[in-house]
Chain A
């Protein structure tokens, strides 16, 4: 009897080992797919990396006919649009997060939070569609002329008002990343201990003072994490930017000027790239994007882990 039982127990344990091994294969698959992705990008950009070296990131020449490729204009467009998006979205997103975490009654906070999650679910191509139809004409007729007169020929806001361009792309991106800042930012603010607020209020500070001088500093690393996470999204965002940025590979001083981003050039030119060097150059642009988002995401997760409970950051 005892023998039978131990055999059964052994078999059960063996079953556990099998299940462990079986699921391990899939865990390893996730690592494998990610590693393979990096390797494929590396391998398939070899020609461009050998030909242009680090100059690829500095050169502005993008001439498929002459076989000369430099990605500086795309890097500039990506960084500029993302920076503009952050300038607009950070105050807005942190403001919403404060309202939802500190001020709104729980019911209202839940409903508004859900609506913002729906906002995050809208596909990027639809933002692009609305951008073309609504934002571009509005920028051309109102925003850009008004900014131009108001700033009196300041170089950032000069040049013809096309409607499309860096600023327009930045605004669309800002709208798209606000939900990310809010959802992570709210979690981070809610994880600030209640005693912190109560202590500030007990010392006679107003609601805003306790938020601004106590809660926000306490949550600062996590908020930076939320912002970095949003930045990661902005850097890689493709469709909406492609549709409103103007797709011209130039670095101009004005924010009204048409520009180009890394993701947009891949989207537009990839299926036309018949020359091998051309294809490898586009894939190298993808490789740069890969490294950029990798660094940003690592920093973001580190910062969020420093404040929020594990599992809230996604």
Chain B
């Protein structure tokens, strides 16, 4: 009799606990939908043409937009791509194809360390390295901060995707008499291109939303920022400044900006993942 009860209890525990894991999943996933729906409702009603075409209005005047912040963010992402992508890519290539044990360990360790670094610390680094000597907050400094954040992302994923290329492909190429370099350029890298492009898109999407490293590198600007040597507005910093301000109209615009930023980031993510097709990317 007691055995029967015990078995029943075990079955109940089984169902309850497994049910709870399903519930945690539901709860976690619903956060995503909540954030999406909330931003669409709050941001959608605040979004208008002026947001994309006009400069921010001074405090007290309602209306205006964030055209300069959109351009500023785009410029900084461009600088991040120019600086961070090649360094990360070639470092990843070095790791998977050339590096000896010691050096590979050092590069991997450095990349992981940089990857785990809080973004605000990267901001301090660029501040001491670029802003202080130039005595100027600038688009360049902000872009470099984002570029540095991209380096470890690109390094580790490039390495991973290159390593996933089958050895038989390399051997076939080498057996045909091609040099190692030719094999890498013509066989290995093309086979991994999709993965690498995906990694680049995911990396750019990640740094596009970064706010902390921009606070004291690109600072902010109420007007257009010519070239790359002046302070510039950016979408994430605008969201932050407007969200913590006491003005209702600024809150409204923060929601609109949040919706635009989130849409761009999620689209880039979905695009990158669909490019990779069925292959799962950790």
Contact = CB atoms under 8 A, between A and B. Distances in A.
Interface of A: 12-13, 15-16, 18-20, 22-31, 33-37, 40-41, 43-44, 91-93, 95-96, 98-100, 102-104, 110, 112-119, 121-130, 132-134, 175, 178-179, 182-183, 187, 206-209, 212, 229, 232-233, 235-239, 243, 263, 266-267, 270-271, 282-283, 286, 289-290, 293-294, 296-297, 301, 311-312, 314
Interface of B: 10-11, 13-14, 17-18, 20-25, 27-29, 31-32, 35, 38-39, 42, 86-91, 93-95, 97-99, 103, 106-107, 110-125, 127-129, 148, 151-152, 155-157, 160, 163, 179-182, 184, 202, 205-206, 208-212, 215-216, 219, 236, 239-240, 243-244, 251, 254-255, 258, 261-262, 265-266, 269-270, 273, 280, 282
A122 B266 CA distance: 8
Contacts, number: 280
B91 A30 contact: yes
B24 A286 contact: no
Contacts of B31: 119, 175
Contacts of B112: 297, 301
The majority secondary structure among interface residues of chain A is helix
A312 B163 CA distance: 13
B124 A286 contact: yes
Contacts of A37: 114, 117, 121-122, 125
A29 B91 contact: yes
Given A23-B98, A118-B32, A130-B38, A290 B121 contact: yes
B27 A33 contact: no
B97 A23 contact: yes
B235 to A, nearest CB: 9
A182 B31 CA distance: 14
B240 A239 contact: yes
A94 B51 CA distance: 42
A293 B117 contact: yes
18 contacts: A12-B179, A23-B97, A30-B111, A34-B110, A37-B122, A91-B24, A96-B28, A104-B22, A118-B269, A121-B205, A123-B261, A123-B262, A127-B35, A129-B254, A183-B282, A236-B121, A267-B120, A283-B128
